[in-house]
Chain A
């Protein structure tokens, strides 16, 4: 069966510090991968998605970047965090290659920038 791992669960970082959040998927190959951000009490905003290694699409201009160095690994990064980067970050996967499928989410990372 497929599983998705996302870490860390919580993170407190000072303004101006770097960020690296990691997500890995097991049990499937060539998945689509996604990073979403959720503000408190709000819906989800799609930040990045990837349909293959090295293929990253950004949905919103911002202080963040994403990379997919391996088929089932997705990394969210920032060189210098802003206060506005605080939020709940969710990684997700779905079946790739044009196949219709729901999204499967990790348990999220709660990021607080102080």
Chain B
């Protein structure tokens, strides 16, 4: 079964607004990662947060991790049309980095 599950499945907002996507997982993890996928392309790594970290920032991205609730969120601030993509969380339980991906959130930024 899938380890990570994103919520919502689809999100449509206006340019300039903030976008929040959530991810839940089932078992203990080494780290949790977020990836972005433009239509028809490979995935691009955005950010990695370790199990002993609670929050991490990278540019307009903010990721939180709550290991007690087995959940993570990705916040994109001041969204741009170019942020339109699918976003996936992936969990790493350790050992050869066999990441388990969720189903993804399809984000649409309307100009």
Contact = CB atoms under 8 A, between A and B. Distances in A.
Interface of A: 6, 32, 34, 36, 41-44, 46, 49, 51, 57, 59, 88, 90, 92, 94, 100-108, 110
- Indicate the size class of the contact surface on chain B: 20 to 34
Interface string B75-111: 0000000000000101010001111111110100000
B103 A46 contact: no
B102 to A, nearest CB: 5
Contact of A102 (B30, B45, B50, B101): B45
A64 B6 CA distance: 28
Nearest to B2: A43
A6 to B, nearest CB: 8
A32 B106 CA distance: 28
Contacts of A108: 40-42
B48 A102 contact: yes
B96 to A, nearest CB: 5
Contacts of A51: 96
A44 B96 contact: no
Give chain A's interface secondary structure class.
strand
Contacts of B44: 105
10 contacts: A42-B103, A43-B104, A44-B101, A57-B96, A100-B30, A101-B97, A102-B48, A105-B44, A106-B42, A110-B40
B43 A43 contact: no
B33 interface: yes
B41 A107 contact: yes
Nearest to A9: B40
Nearest to B97: A94
Nearest first, the 3 closest Cβ-Cβ pairs linking A and B are A105-B42, A102-B45, A44-B101
